[in-house]
Amino acid sequence: MTEEDKQAKADESAASAQHEQARQASAGQAPASAAGASASGDGGSTSSGDAAAGAVQRVDWHSPEMLARLRRRHAANRRMKYIGLGAIVLAAALLGILVSSLVNNGTSAFRQTYIALEFDLKPELVNPENMRRGKWRRIVKEGLLRALPEEYRQNRRLARKVLKIVSRSAPYALRDHVMENPQLVGRTISFEVLAADPFDQYNKGIIPAVIGDGEKQRPNPRLGGPELVRAFEILKEQQRVSMPFNWGLFFHADSRLPETAGLAGAIVGSFLTLLVCFVISFPTGILAAIYLEEFAPKNRLTDFIEININNLAAVPSVVFGLLGLALFIGFFGVPRSTPLVGGMVLSLMTLPTIIIATRAALKAVPPSLREAALGVGASHHQMVFHHVLPVAMPGILTGAIIGMAQALGETAPLLLVGMNAFIPDISNMGLTQPATVLPTQIYSWADSPERGFVSRTAAAILVLLGFLVVMNALAIWLRQRYSTKW
């Protein structure tokens, strides 16, 4: 071997040793001995390996500096963990306070005070030919006085005041019952009538009979005086007062009286509005997402459209209300305050959510499924609608349901198009008839001065939250039930 060959081999050995030492140092290991790496070389190779070993700095992981650095890193990790845990606890506590406040204020509205009385339907008071013009108020007063002591019947002032114990709707409720059963005329019947809102709250323990402290104590003026409170207590002692579940909250329409107000009109209006929203936004959003994801060319126009769709998902909902007011009502002349215009406005707001969710579901389908469909001769159209879309449908439905749940809770855009109509009767509700929805009904009740609407408002919020929880639970169940794992 010539001198030049020996020198080349020594340089190669030195370079290999230097590379190995650098690799071990980066892995946190002690550098290898240069003597072992250059055992086959001469003295020149040994000196080159020692020089390379000296060039790599040994890391001492047990030095005070490195231990202090590790302690700082571990402390930072613990701080982040505690901050995240604290944020979760704070959010859960605030949610618990909100829900407990709603439950505390709203549970009383799910029960209603009724008073059972006997009513004498005398023919001279009830004309079978024209029952609507019967003296129903007098019949209710006589039935109430019949259940009270003689002093209330002899005192004309008290006889007039006792009607404040029952709701102003009591004569009309009795009239409707007799009109449905005309054979009752001329008989004495037992019938339950609603208590007035102040006595309903008094029976539930919400308001006291006496207000003030010490020498400033006085009868609660909302109850009409101590005589009416004593009369109500007499009715309770006779076991005429009951407090069953308030089905009227769900099956009665809106009313100016808190004790008779219900959510039936708002529930029907919400259903019709969401129906219009679903019919417009669901197919339109899915088809738009399929085109953008599977068929549209990638150019500046499609990029511009995608950017605007993502931006529309973050636009405040009141902007969509202004757009609906100017476009649908002002330009196209769609009837105001109807489920049709409300559903059209909500569909504009829901479309970006459905498009984004649908595109994400389509992207989640493995490319191998597309390639397999094309490999067996399917066209692009067949591959998308026969293979990709059915697999992505659970994710699409999940996004659609979440979008509809978001639309159900919107208030501002619906207020701008007048979806806060007073609906005392739901028999004639339709897509082109004035209506209201649950969020605007809550807004109207919250703005009412009557104290009885406070519990009604909290109860309506609980009903709305119940609908939202059910819709989100349905979305989760659909995703878990029909999703495919790859």
- Write out pLDDT tens, residues 145-175: 999 998 888 888 888 889 999 999 999 999 9
Strand partners, 436: 420
Interval 241-246 mean pLDDT: 94
CB within 8 A of 350, min separation 6: which ones? 277, 281, 285, 403, 404, 406, 407
Domain boundaries, the chain: 3-54, 64-108, 113-244, 264-482
Q: Which tens digit of pLDDT belongs to each residue from 303-362?
A: 999 999 989 888 888 999 999 999 999 999 999 999 999 999 999 999 999 999 999 999
- Say what the pLDDT of residue 47 is: 47
The conformation of residue 327, written as its DSSP 8-state character, comes to I
CB within 8 A of 231, min separation 6: which ones? 148, 152, 158, 162, 165
Nearest CA-CA partner of 363 in 486, 480, 475: 486
- The 3-class secondary structure across 376-427, one letter per residue, is CCCCHHHHHHHHHHHHHHHHHHHHHHHHHHHHHCCCHHHHHCCCECCCCCCC
- Say what the pLDDT of residue 454 is: 92
Q: Which of 20-24, 199-203, 278-282, 467-471 has the lowest mean pLDDT?
A: 20-24
Domain topology for 264-482? MetI-like fold (1.10.3720)
Q: Which tens digit of pLDDT belongs to each residue from 179-208?
A: 999 899 989 999 999 999 999 999 999 999
Cα 206 from Cα 236, distance rounded (Å): 17
Angle at 220 between CA 216 and CA 223, to 5 degrees: 165
pTM, whole model, 2 decimals? 0.79
When pLDDT is cut at 50, 70 and 90, the band that residue 245 belongs to is very high
Residue entry with tokens 């002093």 = 151
Q: What percent of the chain has pLDDT over 90?
A: 58
The conformation of residue 328, written as its DSSP 8-state character, comes to I
Amino acid (one-letter) located at 348: L
- Which segment, 86-90, 100-104, 374-378, is predicted with the most confidence on average? 86-90
Q: Which tens digit of pLDDT belongs to each residue from 104-142?
A: 989 999 999 999 999 999 888 888 888 888 899 999 999
Angle at 261 between CA 256 and CA 262, to 5 degrees: 145
- Say what the pLDDT of residue 18 is: 52
Asked if 412 contacts 423 with a C-beta cutoff of 8 angstroms, the reply is no
Report the first-to-last Cα separation within the chain, whole angstroms: 62
- Say what the pLDDT of residue 3 is: 53
Our measurement of the distance from residue 120's CA atom to the centroid of its chain's CA atoms, rounded to an integer in Å, reads 49
Q: In what order do the strands lie in the sheet with 114-120?
A: 188-194, 114-120, 241-242
Q: What percent of the chain has pLDDT over 70?
A: 87
The conformation of residue 436, written as its DSSP 8-state character, comes to B
Cα 257 from Cα 365, distance rounded (Å): 55
- Confidence check: pLDDT of 44 > 90: no
According to DSSP, the β-strands at 210-211 and 218-219 are: antiparallel
Q: Which of 40-44, 58-62, 229-233, 270-274 has the lowest mean pLDDT?
A: 40-44
- Confidence check: pLDDT of 50 > 70: no
- Say what the pLDDT of residue 420 is: 86
